[in-house]
Structure 1
């Protein structure tokens, strides 16, 4: 598909495929020894002045604007990045007769390719491997999904126009420089594991960092700071399961704090959001365990950030918001010895009871012990669908199956006392990695949904308040205004269990957390803009408001929450926000990078849900 579109673009004189390779001096090796980066913005193109309803905006430059770079400029960029610039199209294009993109109409239908895409479209690993695909598709505009009707329309939607499939750090630098010098919207994309649209952007240039897979194990870290234990330096493209598998192969086996999902990238947006996973109760957020970064700044310079060198940038990158300060090339993190672990599963669903009251009573009994679980060092991942509670798994690191059984037994006794049917199993593993491989499941891709979420702290989850929490949960599934199908993904963890004071820019309230819930509304195919706006209003003002009403935390997670809620600044970062905004204004004052509802983006927004602009008057 990409080859055919690129061929068409070449024929139109827009991209050149056989270009003489330029010898590009790798500026990444010439770091300023004084550690004071020269943040020079004199080569940046100005925003494009635009008026909408008499209001003055400064906008990024888009295809069709007179400021859009000429074909020769894109050709030169392609040379600079060693031919890795490609013309983008949605993954579903092969199922449509034509793709109507910015460069014209291209014939794209391929029956065999379409069948393959339909088979793989919900496969998370396949989606991650694509140049610019989104794991969940709502924010792409849904303009070219795989279809059984080849005559259906296929357009670019909110996908980027071009993608740099970077294989060298110099390619990333070239993309950042090109975007800055030409006022192009820039999107950073590693895995596309993104619930709220930060990995896509209308009319953008995408830099794909997924190819960077270098890993360096460090027996004794000798960098800045007081830590001198074992560590690992990972490149931007390394994913959760990859690093856990590599660590498991060490002697003795090692682990890092990763997410629960196997395809989540470690460096980049995951750590810039904080990064929570099965080890978080014991070791804090992933961001709490970072020792150093190597980055490309918005001004196109290479920089190292650690406790001493560019310390403000180091702090901000550790949970201060994705795509906000610099492109992460590598991250160095603490490692820990892997340990024995035990896991358990609990299911209460329609195979056990069709009585909604019985099911809700079982769900309440589980949540009544939430504080008990995290106060004993557990991590628990669960899902709530209508009349389905699926807890998979309870994670008990450095505990035997008997110890985990004893911790869970009070809850099981309560279920038995209330005659609530359930299915429970507990299992012991030699290492956490063995547990991870057995009990954590691959997630699906290709769905269309909008997401929110909220954190409930220890006080909120006091057992005496369980009825209030359950009333809020019921409102999630039956909001004041009817919506479509909704569900929740829950996580019981407390980053403050062993890391009571944040070693990162994450919201201080997380140090007293118990339950973090992601709320979701499935968006039906083919709904119009008005209905989408209605669903967003239901999410913000009914579903998430129900959780906020029983919470005193005033805190949620930047990567898995509603970006359109009020006071996102305080709810994502609390007292850390003013520092983060100042840091953003220092390292990226022009908005070369952009991700919705991140520090310093006040005033920025989308006009007509497409063009990224900043209000100037």
Structure 2
């Protein structure tokens, strides 16, 4: 059953809005919510420091559609007026495939199935999340779907935010009416932090402001040099386009359609430049934030220091809504990549020299170990070792390798990788490389692609000791081999985002183990959670967790990457935040006593839980106090 559709929006907004750029004066001095705009509409008034937590005091759950406390349509209509018509009540795109849906359209369904993934459709959709199972799998795209498409964990209303004023109004309305609030940009989150049943969503995707500041001097701070004002909705490809225009480097996520200055940054944010310039959190000089009381504030090393600390790695959707940031602009840099593959058994296609096939099992795994051993010298030289260990069936495996070296020429990169090639050749793996490819880091293009998937995975951060201690390294490689032989894909990313390369400003709220990390690894299950029952999905999660335990044992003092992790990660407080957790939880309590912001596995989230009958932690249920 669908809620009232006061402001039914087109499922797909006009892509022409994408790429819209405004100046920093618009970004920093954006129209804010005023007392005149609030008028007598108490539902969008600000909270004050002396307010009691009246909207949630004594209430066990967030208001839910059908409750007597759920806002009336007249209130939603008035909110829409305050927002200037930015309130959407969209249906899930896949509803076009269900004959029982009011949105049924066979032609649209065919487009979703056959063509949408090669466009920006899903990235520009107000509801779509690219990992579907946390939503509850209640409206999956299918040529011949069975059952009904229901809203499930999708929000009821969405604010298409293009101004600070609209974000403020949404936050105030959610707080004052005790409605669950979620924040979404492009939908790249893997753990359901951008969706929630019975919620109001702040959609930051069209906050697209940018301005280059060639001689920025931080007020009261220690930075002077090139910088940029960037809005939270900018995707990586848009960031790169601006960086190319001004001949600078703005480190951003590896996936070109991720929004870099929202979830990527607030979770830490790694990239091929992490060993050169640090993590995403290390680029930030100032943040502009709408806090839980609805105020628009600046956070930097001198002002609102608690927020500046917490929102740089301490978790998104927790302390406030980032609308924009001021970030460092580095000199333009090339990214040079030397790549090769080797496989055990036959592969579908090979390139002579670069792709080779061997037949001895133990030789393959010795080569696997030697590649990872090369990860520390790569990271220490400012590089990024990108690897995949892939099961290809029938006891066959493939190793894909890219040695990514920022700032090196092709000749320098070729010379750098030669010791690894010699070691592998001596083992009987005759890999070679042609001239490494090189291009300006920010010259990568690609604004399309990306469609909903339904996988499950876990991750691990490997401290330096797990590579430099021979016993731990052997145990780690044995555990990694165990995951691949069990049918999982092992994806390694060697980097060293130390405090030295991070530079000013520090500290940040991310897990301190990141400063000692030499590898972040993902372990991907080769399953489709959309084809499994919740019980089967939970069993698959437990199986994967069993294979993660040896990796955890071999990486004492390690952790897991908040942005790429199992939401059922054991002891997630320590794994995701380390020794910073207690401080982050305190900041959360102080900054958000109303519990406006909530997302799974973020500081303070233990106080609430989604009530659902599923064995998996989906967002398809009412959010209630624990």
What's the TM-score, normalizing by structure 1?
A: 0.86
Match of 1:470 in 2: 477
Whether the 8 Å CA contact 1:28–1:302 is kept in 2: the answer is no
Alignment of structure 1 residues 59-138 onto 2, 5 Å: 59-99=61-101, 106=102, 108-123=103-118, 125-138=120-133
Tell me, in whole angstroms, the C-alpha distance in 2 between the residues paired with 1:336 and 1:589: 38
Q: Cα offset for 1:594?
A: 0.9
Indicate yes or no: 2:246 matched with 1:242: no
Alignment of structure 1 residues 447-466 onto 2, 5 Å: 447-462=453-468, 464-465=470-471, 466=473
Q: Cα offset for 1:228?
A: 0.9
Tell me, in whole angstroms, the C-alpha distance in 1 between the residues paired with 2:58 and 2:143: 41
Match of 1:526 in 2: 531
Q: Cα offset for 1:254?
A: 0.3
Q: Secondary structure at the match of 1:460?
A: helix
Q: Count matched residues.
A: 569
Q: Cα offset for 1:605?
A: 1.3
Tell me, in whole angstroms, the C-alpha distance in 2 between the residues paired with 1:460 and 1:441: 38
Q: Cα offset for 1:124?
A: 7.6
Q: Cα offset for 1:444?
A: 4.2
Instruction: Identify which of 246, 249, 254 aligns with 1:260.
Output: 254
Indicate yes or no: 2:501 matched with 1:498: yes
Match of 1:190 in 2: 185
Q: Cα offset for 1:74?
A: 1.0
Tell me, in whole angstroms, the C-alpha distance in 2 between the residues paired with 1:380 and 1:304: 36
Match of 1:20 in 2: none
Which moves more between the two structures, 206-215 or 454-463?
454-463
Whether the 8 Å CA contact 2:55–2:594 is kept in 1: the answer is no
Indicate yes or no: 2:298 matched with 1:304: yes
Alignment of structure 1 residues 193-272 onto 2, 5 Å: 193-224=188-219, 225-250=221-246, 253-272=247-266
Match of 1:375 in 2: 380
After superposition, give the CA deviation of every residue in 1:207-262 in whole Å (9 maximum; x if it has no partner): 11111111011112223311011100111111112111211121xx1011211111
Q: Secondary structure at the match of 1:27?
A: coil
Q: Secondary structure at the match of 1:241?
A: helix
Q: Cα offset for 1:382?
A: 2.4
Unaligned runs of 5+ in 1: 18-23, 31-36, 50-57, 100-105, 480-484
After superposition, give the CA deviation of every residue in 1:331-372 in whole Å (9 maximum; x if it has no partner): 110110012342111212342437444433332221121111
Q: Cα offset for 1:112?
A: 1.4
* 1:27–1:164 distance in 2 versus 1, CA, 3 Å: closer
What's the TM-score, normalizing by structure 2?
A: 0.85
Unaligned runs of 5+ in 2: 10-29, 37-46, 348-355, 392-396, 613-617
Alignment of structure 1 residues 536-547 onto 2, 5 Å: 536-540=541-545, 542-547=546-551
Q: Cα offset for 1:48?
A: 7.1
- RMSD of aligned residue pairs (Cα, Å): 2.7
Q: Cα offset for 1:419?
A: 1.4
Whether the 8 Å CA contact 1:347–1:424 is kept in 2: the answer is no
Q: Cα offset for 1:169?
A: 1.7
Q: Cα offset for 1:525?
A: 3.3
Alignment of structure 1 residues 332-481 onto 2, 5 Å: 332-349=326-343, 350-351=346-347, 352-353=356-357, 355=359, 356-386=361-391, 387-391=397-401, 393-422=402-431, 424-429=433-438, 431-434=440-443, 436=444, 444-462=450-468, 464-465=470-471, 466-478=473-485
Whether the 8 Å CA contact 1:287–1:503 is kept in 2: the answer is no
After superposition, give the CA deviation of every residue in 1:278-303 in whole Å (9 maximum; x if it has no partner): 11111111111211111111111111
Tell me, in whole angstroms, the C-alpha distance in 2 between the residues paired with 1:441 and 1:212: 16
* 1:538–1:151 distance in 2 versus 1, CA, 3 Å: closer
Tell me, in whole angstroms, the C-alpha distance in 2 between the residues paired with 1:512 and 1:29: 49
Whether the 8 Å CA contact 1:294–1:302 is kept in 2: the answer is yes
After superposition, give the CA deviation of every residue in 1:493-515 in whole Å (9 maximum; x if it has no partner): 11016238953112221112111
Tell me, in whole angstroms, the C-alpha distance in 1 between the residues paired with 2:306 and 2:294: 18
Tell me, in whole angstroms, the C-alpha distance in 2 between the residues paired with 1:442 and 1:491: 24
Match of 2:149 in 1: 154
Match of 2:12 in 1: none
Whether the 8 Å CA contact 1:507–1:575 is kept in 2: the answer is yes
Tell me, in whole angstroms, the C-alpha distance in 1 between the residues paired with 2:145 and 2:541: 31
Instruction: Identify which of 246, 254, 274 aligns with 1:280.
Output: 274
The higher-RCO structure (CA 8 Å, 6+ apart) is 2
Tell me, in whole angstroms, the C-alpha distance in 2 between the residues paired with 1:152 and 1:123: 28
Whether the 8 Å CA contact 1:109–1:150 is kept in 2: the answer is no
Whether the 8 Å CA contact 2:301–2:308 is kept in 1: the answer is yes
Q: Secondary structure at the match of 1:292?
A: strand
Tell me, in whole angstroms, the C-alpha distance in 2 between the residues paired with 1:198 and 1:62: 18
Whether the 8 Å CA contact 2:456–2:529 is kept in 1: the answer is no
